[in-house]
Amino acid sequence: MTSPTAAGTPPEVTAAEQEAAEAADLLAALEEKASSGQDVTPRQLAEQRELYRFARLRADATRRKADHRRTGPRPAGDQPADPQAV
């Protein structure tokens, strides 16, 4: 297990959030290039959007895992009902 940073955020969460922020910045820069008339293809924009979405999903998952490690599993009464268990 990794130790939290000084602010209490585990380093893997900080890194994942940073990757998502960088992907967002790259997407914004590419969109700006397209807006200013520079050569940008729809495929380039779509690929960067997907990379950003993936980075955001990874950051969210990393944070949830870190929170789970910190707080432990939820009590059984807090688990969502399994619709298959009828």
pLDDT in tens, the chain (86 residues): 445 554 688 999 999 999 999 999 999 999 999 999 999 999 999 999 999 999 999 999 999 999 998 887 666 666 565 555 54
Please state, in angstroms and rounded to a whole number, the distance separating the CA atoms of residues 62 and 13: 6
Q: Give the residue extent of every domain in the chain.
A: 12-71
CB 34 within 8 A of CB 45: yes
pTM for this predicted structure? 0.71
Q: How many angstroms separate the CA atoms of 36 and 30, rounded? A: 10
